[in-house]
Amino acid sequence: MPTLRDALTDARARLAHLPTPRLDAEWLLCHMLDVPQSYLIAHSTDLLPDDQRAQYDALVIRRASGEPLAYILGEVGFYGRTFTVSPAVLIPRPETEHLIEAGLSALNHWTQPIIADIGTGSGAIAVTLAAECLQATVYATDISPDALAIARQNASHHQVDVTFFEGDLAAPLLPELSDKVNLLAANLPYIARDEVPTLDVSQHEPTLALDGGSDGLDLVRRLLGQVPQLCTDDATILLEIGADQGQATADIARSLLGEVSIRIEKDYADLDRLVVIGL
């Protein structure tokens, strides 16, 4: 019967082809035992019973195959909170926290802002903005009922009031919210359709959350086309984009919205990540 240390050593070797084998092995064992990481240090010589070893092996096999750790654990951290995730939703990335920071900065312009998160997925953006800006009224849409079920779980868990609608982009918010949205946020699918099958992310995460059409910007075009109906004259629009899509997105915005303020913000890798549009 192996000790916890033995099980971790074996798991690290089996996960050596992944970027963070030691952390993955520890998180999986903590998840299976339902203990904090400190427990593994204090109890490293404890024996791991055969039934628990079998459970742990099954988790390690899943991770070794490339299944995202967040799906195995059923949760992921985002902006200081834990969010439930499943294969029905895209896993929130640290890069998207840049959108949150930009959104919170923009929200200082209104005393009781109305926020719309389009293509909410897990609800990470909508829930975080609602939790960080208590005076805001927050709406979120998604075309996937399975994704909305996860988003509603997250809103309930974090005890925030977000109104969710099932439907295509901003369509469910019209005409009720016509000319009322102050902050429009969206992390829409932005990968070109032909590229999706070639990427590792497509093996596990939902194609619906990845496929952005022929050039990756089809949904961005459609959403920006809805802006004149949906947003106030002084609204801010935040669009997370792919690493080389900043200028193309800016050109689309100007063609559809006229002379607007546009700022392309970089991520920590100095790649295009966010387009900020001011009406």
Cα(272)–Cα(245) distance, rounded to whole angstroms? 7
pTM of the model: 0.95
Q: pLDDT by residue (tens digit) across 186-201? A: 999 999 999 999 999 9
How far is the C-alpha of 101 from the C-alpha of 268, rounded, in Å? 14
Q: % helix / strand / coil in the chain, to the nearest 5?
A: 45, 20, 35
The per-residue pLDDT for 227 is 98
Query: What is the pLDDT at residue 80?
Result: 97
Angstrom distance (rounded) from CA 148 to CA 153:
9
What residues are paired with 116 via a beta bridge? Answer: 139, 184
CATH of range 4-66; options 3.60.21.10, 2.40.50.140, 1.10.3720.10, 1.10.8.10: 1.10.8.10
| Interacting residues of 19 by C-beta distance below 8 A, sequence separation 6+ | none
Inter-residue contact 220 to 237 (CB < 8 Å): no
Using CB atoms within 10 Å of the CB of residue 121, give its burial: 0 to 12 exposed, 13 to 18 middle, 19+ buried: buried
Architecture of domain 88-278: 3-Layer(aba) Sandwich (3.40)
Q: What angle do CA 47, 52, 55 make, to 5 degrees?
A: 145
> 3-state DSSP call for residue 40?
helix
Q: Residue 83 in contact with residue 41, Cβ under 8 Å?
A: no
**Angle, CA 181 vertex, CA 274 and CA 107 arms, to 5°:** 60
- 88-278 matches 4-66 in CATH topology: no
Residue 165: helix, strand or coil by DSSP?
A: strand
Domain range list for the chain = 4-66, 88-278
Burial readout 157-191 (b: 16 or more C-beta within 10 A, e: otherwise): ebebebebbeeebbebbeeebeeebbbbbbbbbbb
| Tokens 């016509």 belong to residue | 178
Low-confidence stretches of the chain (pLDDT beneath 70):
none
Nearby residues of 63 by Cβ (< 8 Å), 6 or more positions away:
15, 18, 24, 28, 69, 72
CA distance 157 to 127: 10
What pLDDT score was predicted for residue 268? 87
